[in-house]
Structure 1
Amino acid sequence: MERTIINTNIRLNLNRPEDRQAWNYLQALDRKKYKSYSRAVVAAVNEYFARQERLAADPYLETREKEDAFLQKVLETIREGLQASGAGLAGLTALLQGIHPAAPPPEPVMTDEDLDTAMDFINSL
C-alpha cells in the first residue's frame, strides 16, 4: 500500500489573540492522545467542518444543544441539592407532612346581653 503524504505548513501570527490561543493549545497538547501536531490539526479541522455541515443541515442544532446542556445542568443541580440535604426526598416529604393547616379561630360565644342587644336593634327597625 502506497502512502500519500501531503506536506503543508501553517503560519501563526502570535500578535493575533486567536493565533496565540491556537499556538498555546498546540504547546499544551496531550501527547498520549495526539502523537503529533498533525494528528491534533487533522482532528480539529475535521470536527470543525463536520459541525459546520451539521449546522447547515439542521439550523436548530445549536439551540437544541444549548437547551440540552441547560436541562442537564438543572438536573445535576437538583440532584446535588437533594443529596446535600441528607435525606433527599424522604426529608422533603417528612417536612411537608409536618406542616399542618392553622386551626380556625374559635366561634364567638353569644352572651344573653349580646342577644338582648341584637333583639333591641332588630325591633328598632
Structure 2
Amino acid sequence: MQFWEILGWMLWAVVFVGYLFALFAIVADLFRDHTLNGWWKAVWVVFLVFVPFLTALIYLIARGQGMAVRSDRAAREAHSATESYIQRVAGKSPADEIAAAAGLLAAGSITADEFTVLKAKALS
C-alpha cells in the first residue's frame, strides 16, 4: 500500500505543478492583454482565486487562441529589443571602424602604420 500512496502523491504533485504553470500563464496573459478592460481583469483574477480550476479551464477555452498570439507577440518584442540592445552595445561594424581610422589618417591624427594596425584590428 505504501508504494501506491507515494505514486498517488506524486501524481497529485504533477497535477498541482501543472495547474500552477497554467495559473501563472493565465495571470501573465491577463496583464499582457491591453485590449481587456481593467475591471474584466479584476473579475478574472477574483474568479481564479475563488473558483480556480473551473475558471482556468474556461479561460483556456475562451481565450486560449489569443494567449498564443499575445505570447508570440511578446516574445518577438523581447527578441527585437534584445537584438537592438546587442547592436547598440556591440559598437561599430568593421567598415565603420576602418572609415573612422581613415578619417583620422586623413586628418593627420595617426600615422600610416597606426592606420594599418587599426585596420587589422577591425578586420580580426
TM-score for the superposition, normalised by structure 2:
0.34
Larger Rg belongs to: 1
Q: Which has the higher contact order (CA 8 A, sep 6+)?
A: 2
